[in-house]
Amino acid sequence: MAADMGEGHSDAQGGPVRHIPVLLREVLAALEAAPSQLIVDGTFGAGGYTAAILEAGASVIGFDRDPEAIANGAEMAAASGGRLKLIHAQFSHLLEHVEEASLDGLVLDIGVSSMQIDEAERGFSFMRDGPLDMRMAQAGISAADVVNRAKASDLTRIFGILGEERHAGRIARAIEAERAKHPFSTTRQLAGLIEKVSPRRPQDKIHPATRVFQALRTYVNDELGELATALFAAEKALKPGGRLVVVTFHSLEDRIVKRFFQDRSGKASGSRHLPAVQERKATFTAIGKQPVVAGEEECEANPRARSAKLRAGLRSDAPAGPTGSDILPVPNLVALGG
């Protein structure tokens, strides 16, 4: 499942983290999984949520874009008695594999898994030297492609928007100068340059490269675009009374999920400068107080839980709402071809 790349987290700095499903108890409470139900785990990962949902008696369809996650889940699927089906696909492709209004529940745990971080050859961690890759699906453009080919102005936007890096421009210009002499190929090479350009101060809680690596990972995997598309797909795939549960680890992700539920519950505020929008029947109502955050005990046991936020909605019988990039706050960044 997802691991945060934010402040103060051991996995953000590349340290080994034992995989622990974040907010597991809260996710199960929001899903209310039961026998005869069909639930999608859109981010299968190591199968932490799926195992608990199966234990509750429901059947699961698990999606993951990482072929290794699907391969590692084969044993769980074989032991499930036919109640677990694994699909190697991005969760945004949900409607290519399930029928509309067919699901009782869907859970998404957004981000990179601790297993991916632990593998140096995947290039997610700057504390383990490896190829500058970061591709969850192990296909498409890599982080090395981005830092070696993107204009400095585009790198500035990527680092500044997706990583909220305050030295984005300075780092981007340094990358542009360095790659002319030595193209970037490893995680340590990039992290080392960032350390020189933006040295770590005594009061800093995280490594200077943390936000840049977070931004590159998010960009390479189009994580925010994937999330937005998946939310629209989930709305169509859930039956009336179905439950959508989303766990995020970053403010940009949470903003998208929050906006989605606001729009679909009729609570999104429109602009006074735009024409009035015809009122639509709500497609979701909130499940409990939101966002749900981890308690002190879980945060102590699992540092990744500190920045986790859970939002959940109950699907009504209203038709799915409109889709489009103008509805959700997904940044518009330059596309870098493969």
Question: How many domains does one find in the chain?
Answer: 2
Mean per-residue pLDDT, 113-121: 49
| 103 and 237 share one domain | yes
Closest of 13, 16, 2 to residue 118, by C-alpha:
16
In a domain, 161, yes or no: yes
63 assigned to a ligand binding site: no
Q: List 62's β-bridge partners, or say none.
A: 41, 86
Residue 332 has pLDDT above 80, yes or no: yes
| Structure confidence at residue 274 (pLDDT) | 44
| Residue 232: half-sphere exposure toward Cβ, Cα within 13 Å | 15
CATH code for the domain in which residue 144 is found: 1.10.150.170
pLDDT per residue as tens digits for the range 144-200: 999 999 999 999 999 999 999 999 999 999 999 999 999 999 999 999 999 999 987
Q: Confirm whether residue 109 is marked as ligand binding.
A: yes
What is the C-alpha to C-alpha distance for residues 210 and 296, in angstroms, rounded to an integer?
Answer: 24
pLDDT digits (tens, 9 = 90+) for 45-73: 999 999 999 999 999 999 999 999 999 99
- Residue 338 falls inside a structural domain: no
Judgement on whether residues 28 and 51 belong to the same structural domain of the protein: yes
The fraction of the chain above a pLDDT of 70, given in percent, is: 85
For residue 241, pLDDT over 50 is answered with yes
- Domain assignment present for residue 323? The answer is no
Structural domain including 162 reads 121-220
Token digits of residue 243: 């439950």
pLDDT category at 334 given cuts 50, 70, 90 is: confident
- 47 marked ligand binding residue: yes
In a domain, 324, yes or no: no
Contact 303, 9 (CB under 8 A): yes
Taking 50 as the threshold, does the pLDDT of residue 18 lie above it? no
* pLDDT of 252 over the 50 cut: yes
40, 237 contact by CB (below 8 A): yes
**Is 4 part of any domain?**
no
178 and 248 inside one domain: no
266 among the known binding-site residues? Answer: no
pLDDT for the residue numbered 205: 75
Whether residues 215 and 229 fall in one domain:
no
| pLDDT at residue 137 greater than cutoff 90 | no
With 0-12 / 13-18 / 19 or more C-beta atoms within 10 angstroms meaning exposed / middle / buried, residue 167 is: middle
Whether 87 and 229 map to the same domain: the answer is yes
Residues 252 and 294 in one domain: yes
Task: Flag whether 270 is marked binding.
Answer: no
| Pure H helices in 182-295 | 187-197, 210-220, 223-237, 251-265
